[in-house]
Amino acid sequence: MNTEYINIEQNNLDNVKTAIERAGKILRKGGLVAFPTETVYGLGANGLDAAAVSKIFLAKGRPSDNPLILHIADRDDLSALVRKIPDWLEPLLDRFWPGPLTVVLPRAACVPDIVTAGLDTVAVRLPSSPVARALIRCAGVPIAAPSANLSGRPSPTTATAVMADMAGRIEMVLDGGSCEVGLESTVLDCTAEIPTILRPGGVTQEMLAACLGKVRTSGEERLETAEVPKAPGMKYRHYAPAAPLRLFSCDAIEGEAGLLQQLRALQSAGKKVGAVVSPETAMLLPKDVEIAIHGSRKTPAAAAAGLYQALRWFDTHPVDVIFAEGVPEQGIGRALMNRLYKAAGSAGEE
């Protein structure tokens, strides 16, 4: 398959409209289109067409028990996809939609089983990206869209990263530039007795608690093999770079078990070492370490936005092991650490 690549950032408005119309036509005919959102690039299919959605799983190599998120263009579109919208949810949507918040609600009959992995709930999001919303409107259907990468890999925040994984597997990639948030949306289970965060993201726990009064976090790392997760990113190893990943905190650089000692020990054993770190930490590391910067310790949001691109940097700069610098688990830092724990194949509770 030849994957058509269109850089809509560099085109004039007429060409952008033409490109989106072509992409919408592909979706209506059952094809796949990768497109930008404010979080990460999505791999989209007609969310009401089971055969089209099945192509997402094939292109990504994604397990079939990993549910998808339906993306809509306007808030009024939600009512057609769910059976009930609780009254308490309306103020939350007033504040955070459009934006990086996905809500899980009882699904309507029109939603195919393949989208929900057979669950009686569906995850729905209204993205803030103008390109994403224009595409959904043009397609005329909700778009089922996980991240546009091979399953288990770091999510793409640029169209170049999408092409690295998806070229030859899908019909079209729309390049709308780099994604602003850089991490997937927050997923909130609105069917629980207490609203429950199934996946942390750009709408933080603190933001939700300020609006709801009470919100809890799921024990998602305890899912058993046979269990079907309620939301993406809960059950499987995700976001993993090409080399094994080890986590460290910025206060572990020096000392008996410090980062520098670990780096030197690996290098003495003939290993090539990489590091995903802040610019502050990069200044302290040996010059023969391959370094990718995710963002400053002072700006966790910038580190979150740069995380996946930093992890993917090692696709073209191969190493034997990667050390990744963590951040405090508060605000957007909670979502960043969730992704790093998953990338390391760990629940983060040891």
pLDDT at 346: 58
Is residue 240 in some structural domain?
no
Percent of the chain with pLDDT over 90: 76
Q: Are residues 124 and 20 in the same domain?
A: yes
297 domain residue, yes or no: yes
- Same domain for 256 and 202, yes or no, is no
Closest CA to 124 of 260, 256, 232: 232
Residues 45 and 105 in one domain: yes
Evaluate whether residue 234 is within a structural domain.
no
Instruction: State whether 213 and 252 are in the same domain.
Output: no
Q: Is residue 116 part of a domain?
A: yes
Q: What is the pLDDT of residue 347?
A: 43
| pLDDT, mean of residues 162-191 | 97
Residue 322 has pLDDT above 90, yes or no: yes
Q: Edge-to-edge, what's the strand order for the sheet holding 290-293?
A: 245-248, 321-325, 273-277, 290-293
Under the banding of pLDDT at 50, 70 and 90, the label for residue 255 is: very low
Q: Are residues 12 and 155 in the same domain?
A: yes
**pLDDT tens digits, residue range 289-320?**
999 999 998 899 999 999 999 999 999 999 99
- Which of residues 181, 207, 222 is at a domain's end? 222
Contacts of 45 (CB under 8 A, 6+ apart): 27, 30, 31, 32, 52, 53, 55, 56, 143, 144, 145
Q: Which residue has the tokens 């078990």?
A: 257
Domain region containing 252? 245-343
Residue with tokens 């170049």: 160
Same domain flag for 218 and 266: no
Beta bridge partners of residue 229, listed in sequence order: none
Query: Which of 222, 255, 289 is at the close of a domain?
Result: 222
Residue type, 169: R
Instruction: Please tell me whether residues 335 and 215 are part of one structural domain.
Output: no
Q: What is the pLDDT of residue 227?
A: 60
User: What is the pTM for the complete model shown?
Assistant: 0.92
CA–CA distance, 35 with 257 (Å, rounded to integer): 44
Are 306 and 185 in the same domain? no
Assess whether 86 and 209 both reside in one domain.
yes
Residue 164 shares a structural domain with residue 267 = no
Of 34-43, 173-182, 242-251, 294-303, the range with the lowest mean pLDDT is 242-251
Report the number of distinct structural domains present in the chain: 2
**Residue 236 lies inside a defined structural domain of this protein:** no
Could you read off the pLDDT of 204-238 as tens digits, one per residue?
Answer: 999 999 999 999 998 654 444 446 667 665 655 56
At 297 the pLDDT is 85
CATH number at residue 334: 3.40.50.11030
Q: Is there a single domain that holds both residue 186 and residue 256?
A: no
Q: What is the mean pLDDT of residues 62-66?
A: 87
Q: What is the mean pLDDT of residues 176-193?
A: 96
Radius of gyration of the chain (CA): 20
In a domain, 209, yes or no: yes
Q: How many other CB atoms are there within 10 angstroms of residue 249's CB atom? A: 11
Number of neighbours of residue 212 by Cβ within 10 angstroms: 15
319 vs 322: CA distance, rounded Å? 7
Same domain, yes or no: 205 and 72: yes
Would you place residue 64 in the very low, low, confident or very high pLDDT band (cuts 50, 70, 90)?
Answer: confident
User: Does any domain span residue 228?
Assistant: no
Question: Using CA atoms, how far apart are residues 223 and 201, in angstroms rounded to an integer?
Answer: 20
**Domain final residue, candidates 190, 222, 254:** 222
- pLDDT for 254 equals 55
User: Does residue 10 belong to any structural domain of this protein?
Assistant: yes
